[in-house]
A = this chain, B = another copy of it.
Amino acid sequence: MPFQVAVCGPRHCTPQDEQHAREVGRLLAQAGATVICGGGVGVMAAVAAGAHAEGGLVIGVRPGDTAADADPHLSAVIVTNLGEARNAVIVWSADAVIAIGGSWGTLSEIALAKRRGTIPVITLGGWTITDHHGNPLADDAIPASTPQDAVTHALNHRS
Give the interface of A toward B (CB within 8 A). Answer: 1-2, 4, 34, 36, 57, 59, 61, 65, 67, 70, 72, 74-85, 87-89, 92-93, 102-105, 107-108, 111-112, 114-117, 125-132, 134, 137, 139
Contacts and interface: CB of A to CB of B under 8 A. Distances in A.
B76 A34 contact: yes
B84 A82 contact: no
A74 B1 contact: yes
A128 B131 contact: yes
Contacts of A82: 81-83, 85, 88-89
B84 A112 contact: yes
A131 B127 contact: yes
Q: Please provide the 10 A-B residue pairs with the shortest distance between their CB atoms, ordered closest to farther.
A: A108-B111, A85-B88, A104-B115, A81-B83, A107-B111, A104-B114, A85-B85, A79-B92, A81-B92, A79-B93
Contacts of A89: 78-82, 85, 89
A109 to B, nearest CB: 8
Nearest to A80: B89
B80 A65 contact: no
B88 A84 contact: yes
A14 to B, nearest CB: 9
A78 B115 CA distance: 19
A40 to B, nearest CB: 13
18 contacts: A1-B67, A4-B67, A4-B76, A57-B75, A61-B78, A67-B93, A76-B76, A78-B78, A80-B93, A81-B85, A83-B92, A87-B112, A89-B89, A104-B112, A104-B114, A104-B139, A127-B137, A130-B130
